[in-house]
Amino acid sequence: MPLNQIQLRQISKSFEETEVLEHFDLDIEEDEFLTLLGPSGCGKTTILRLIGGFEEPDSGQILFEGRDVTAMPPHERPFNTVFQQYSLFPHMNVEENVGFGLRMRGIDPKEIQTRVMRMLDLVNLRGFNKRRPDQLSGGQKQRIAIARALVNEPEVLLLDEPLGALDLKLRKEMQWELKRMQRELGITFIFVTHDQEEALTMSDRIVVLNHGIIQQQGVPKDIYDEPANRFVADFIGDSNILDGVMLEDYKVRFSHHDFVCVDHGFAPNEPVDVVLRPEDIELVAPEKGMLVGKVMSCMFRGVHYAMEVDVDGAIYTSQSTRSFDAGQPVGIVLEPDLIHVMHKEARP
Ligand code: ATP
């Protein structure tokens, strides 16, 4: 059984009029890459700042390895934080920036040199030790900021949208890099982002938040394949979300058709949300379809085509490596296990 390294217990936190968290609980395991994912303002940064000790909860407890650290100042916690703004010292070179915290702690200069060089190796910037921040690219500055946080050998690294300022290509590169570093170091990473693709790529576990409430937590594949509610389905990946009725176990009606599905445990005739991923909507000849519609548009998206299909006024978005012409009648086939049925209310 993995150890819960950090536990947030019944945390409440408000800023003036804004209540961000109310009786919030979260467990974080040792050495996991945990991502807090949600739209702007949902409370991700507040949670990270509470863990880091930069904010105090109004009530509740934060435990580290079973010890109450709620009142402990940030520098005494075995955590380090990397922010979106690199906040490097402009007058110091790379080596001095990375070694700053160790110098403040009075560590022996030789030891500092060894540890700084080890960190520059880890972030692939060994040859850059004498450069000043203004001689580095955005991606290199962020690597230095990460090296500076890791040189203190924290047990937990807190990362607040650290890739937010980078362009897309660099961002993707850094996603791999961060994942590699976390594996190599074997420490806990708590990562904040509003970018679902980033979360799916890097995390061992994702916690999806909305208005300070956990909507779902789990491994990326489960979050993507089995969204717990409409919010998660809408926020993660592209989705078709349709109104349906669960007629009985394993039978759902939408678009005037009864489908076999794998869901059960709903009330008879319960109104439900039906989620279909575009890649799971198979387009076939009209006579072979469970539903029949008309292609409204077809767009080339690089790897696949995206088609919008009108089925009795409901628009289905489908993805396929085959293209279908606008105006063409098509059939739609839906496999039972690719139909996701969910209750209408948000379920944590
Ligand atoms: P983003 O992705 O935009 O950074 P977030 O999910 O990290 O958003 P938080 O920064 O945690 O959200 O903010 C949650 C709510 O608390 C927001 O409504 C924000 O305006 C408010 N808030 C955060 N910090 C403060 C503060 N110091 N004073 C007042 N309100 C604050």
The pLDDT of 11-24, averaged and rounded, is: 94
The better pLDDT of the pair 301, 335 is held by 335
Banded model confidence at residue 177, pLDDT cuts 50, 70, 90 = confident
The verdict on the CB of residue 40 being under 6 Å from ligand 1 is yes
Q: Cα(340)–Cα(122) distance, rounded to whole angstroms? A: 42
The verdict on the CB of residue 209 being under 6 Å from ligand 1 is no
The pLDDT of 113-119, averaged and rounded, is: 93
Residues 1-10 as b or e (16 or more Cβ within 10 Å = b) = eeeebbbbbe
Contact 288, 331 (CB under 8 A): yes
First-to-last alpha carbon distance for the chain, in angstroms, is 23
The verdict on the CB of residue 15 being under 6 Å from ligand 1 is yes
Lowest mean pLDDT among 83-87, 135-139, 302-306: 83-87
The verdict on the CB of residue 43 being under 6 Å from ligand 1 is yes
Going from the Cα of 249 to the center of ligand 1, the distance in angstroms, rounded, reads: 42
Q: Is the pLDDT of residue 140 over 60?
A: yes
What confidence score (pLDDT) does residue 174 get?
Answer: 86
Going from the Cα of 15 to the center of ligand 1, the distance in angstroms, rounded, reads: 9
Mean pLDDT score across all residues of the chain: 92
Measured in residues, the chain has a length of 348
The pLDDT of 329-347, averaged and rounded, is: 87
Q: Given the structure tokens 């890739």, which residue do they identify? A: 163
Banded model confidence at residue 83, pLDDT cuts 50, 70, 90 = confident
What are the tens digits of pLDDT across the range 200-231? 999 999 999 999 999 999 999 999 988 888 89
What confidence score (pLDDT) does residue 328 get?
Answer: 94
What are the tens digits of pLDDT across the range 34-56? 999 999 999 999 999 999 999 99
Lowest mean pLDDT among 61-75, 118-132, 276-290: 118-132
The separation between CA 237 and the C-alpha centre of its own chain, rounded to angstroms, equals 11
The better pLDDT of the pair 301, 348 is held by 301
Q: List Cβ<8 Å contacts ≥24 apart for 92-96.
A: 92/132, 92/133, 93/129, 93/130, 93/131, 93/132, 94/120, 94/125, 94/128, 94/129, 94/130, 94/131, 94/132, 94/133, 94/136, 94/144, 95/120, 95/129, 95/130
* Atom 9, ligand 1: residue with shortest CA distance: 43
Q: Given the structure tokens 């009606």, which residue do they identify? A: 253
Structure tokens at 227: 């969204």
The pLDDT of 56-81, averaged and rounded, is: 94
Closest CA to 39 of 213, 159, 170, 226: 213
Banded model confidence at residue 30, pLDDT cuts 50, 70, 90 = very high
Which residues make Cβ contacts (< 8 Å) with residue 302, sequence separation at least 6? none
Going from the Cα of 40 to the center of ligand 1, the distance in angstroms, rounded, reads: 8
The pLDDT of 29-37, averaged and rounded, is: 96
The verdict on the CB of residue 194 being under 6 Å from ligand 1 is yes
Q: Is the pLDDT of residue 104 over 60?
A: yes
CA angle 163, 164, 170 (to 5 degrees): 50
Residues 263-280 as b or e (16 or more Cβ within 10 Å = b) = beebeeeeebbbbbbbeb
Helices 168-185 and 138-150 meet at what angle, rounded to 10?
20
CA angle 318, 319, 325 (to 5 degrees): 75
* Atom 20, ligand 1: residue with shortest CA distance: 41
Which residues make Cβ contacts (< 8 Å) with residue 238, sequence separation at least 6? 277, 278, 317, 319
Q: Given the structure tokens 């979360």, which residue do they identify? A: 199
Report DSSP letters for 173-211, one per residue.
HHHHHHHHHHHHHT-EEEEEES-HHHHHHH-SEEEEEET
The pLDDT of 134-138, averaged and rounded, is: 90
How do strand 33-37 and strand 188-193 relate by DSSP bridges? parallel
- Whole-prediction pTM value? 0.86
The pLDDT of 261-287, averaged and rounded, is: 94
What confidence score (pLDDT) does residue 348 get?
Answer: 43
Find residue 275's DSSP bridge partners.
Answer: 241, 340
Closest CA to 32 of 256, 204, 155, 164: 204
Q: 223 by DSSP, 3-state: which?
A: helix
Banded model confidence at residue 193, pLDDT cuts 50, 70, 90 = very high
Q: Is the pLDDT of residue 347 over 70?
A: no
What confidence score (pLDDT) does residue 3 get?
Answer: 65
What confidence score (pLDDT) does residue 168 get?
Answer: 84
The verdict on the CB of residue 129 being under 6 Å from ligand 1 is no
CA angle 339, 225, 227 (to 5 degrees): 85
Pocket test for ligand 1, best of 19, 35, 42, 159 (most atoms within 8 A of CB): 42
